[in-house]
Structure 1
Amino acid sequence: MGKFLALFNGAADEADKDELSAQQQAEFLDAWAAWAQADHGALVDPGAPLNAKKRVTARGVEDFVDATTGYEAGSHDEAVRIFAGHPHLRLFEGNSIAVVECR
C-alpha cells in the first residue's frame, strides 16, 4: 500500500492574505475546524506547513518559500473524497489541492 499526500497550493500572496477581514479569517478557521473534525480519523497525518525548503539545481542550492502544505491519507480515493470539500478551495480563487501517491 502506498502513501497518499494531499498538497495544498495557495494562489494568494501576502497582500491578498492581508486583505482578509477578521470575520473572513474566523469563518475560514471555523470551516477548517469542522472539516478536520468530520474526517480526522481518515487522515494518517493531520497536516502541517512544509518548511525549511531547499531547491537543488545544477547551479547549486537555494532556500525557497511557497504556500504548499501537506497531509497524509490512507488511500487515494479516500484522500480525494476528504479534500474535495476542504475550505481551502473556497478561500482564494486559484487555490488547489493535488492528491498524489508516493511509491
Structure 2
Amino acid sequence: MAHYLAVFTMDKAGPRFRAWKAMSEADQAARAEVGLAAVKAWEAAHHGRIVHIGGPLGPTLRIDDAGRIADAVNQLTVFVVVRADTHEAAARLFADHPHMKIFPCDGVEVMPVLGE
C-alpha cells in the first residue's frame, strides 16, 4: 500500500467560513465539541489506514526565491497521512468526513507521497 497526504481545504473568504465566523462563540464551541467527537470516531474507524494523524495547520509564512518572507493566506487547514491500495481509495476515505460536514472545510486534496 502507498502513502497519501490528505490536506483539508477551506476558503477563508467563502460562505461556509463566513457562516462559521457569524456563529456565537458558544455555538462555535458546541459545534466544535460535536465535530471533534465525530473526527475521533472517523479516526477510530480508519485507524488501520492512518500513518500519521497530522493535525490543524497554523498561520503561513512564505519565503520567495529572493529570500523575502511574508505572511500568506491559503486554503490549507488540516492534514493527515493515510495508506491505501490506490489513489482513488485514499480519496474515498474522506467522503463525508466531519471536517466537511460539521466544520467549514470544503474539500480534501489527496496526493501520493512519492519516493517511498
Shorter-chain TM-score range? 0.7 to 0.9
**Change in CA separation of 1:16 and 1:98 when aligned onto 2, cut-off 3 Å:** same
Contact 1:48 1:71 in 2 (8 A): yes
Residues matched between the structures, number: 102
Alignment partner of 2:60 out of 32, 37, 53:
53
TM-score normalised over the length of structure 2: 0.67
Segments of structure 1 that go 5 or more residues without pairing to the other structure are none
C-alpha RMSD over aligned residues:
2.8
Contact 2:20 2:104 in 1 (8 A): no
**Change in CA separation of 1:52 and 1:93 when aligned onto 2, cut-off 3 Å:** closer
Instruction: Report the residue type matching 1:84 in the other structure.
Output: A
Over the matched positions of the two proteins, sequence identity in percent amounts to: 31
The ranges of structure 1 where at least 4 consecutive aligned residues each deviate by more than 4 angstroms after the TM superposition are none
How many angstroms does 1:65 deviate by? 5.1
> How do residues 43-82 of structure 1 correspond to structure 2 at under 5 angstroms?
43-51=50-58, 53-58=60-65, 60-64=68-72, 66=74, 67-75=76-84, 76-82=87-93
Task: Tell me the alpha carbon deviations over residues 30-80 of structure 1, each in whole angstroms, 9 at most, x when there is no partner.
Answer: 211211111112110012123463312356221335552111112323421
Alignment pair present for 1:83 and 2:94 = yes
Stretch deviating more after TM superposition (38-47 or 56-65): 56-65
Contact 2:62 2:70 in 1 (8 A): yes
TM-score normalised over the length of structure 1: 0.74
Who is 2:3 aligned against?
3
Instruction: Report the residue type matching 2:70 in the other structure.
Output: E
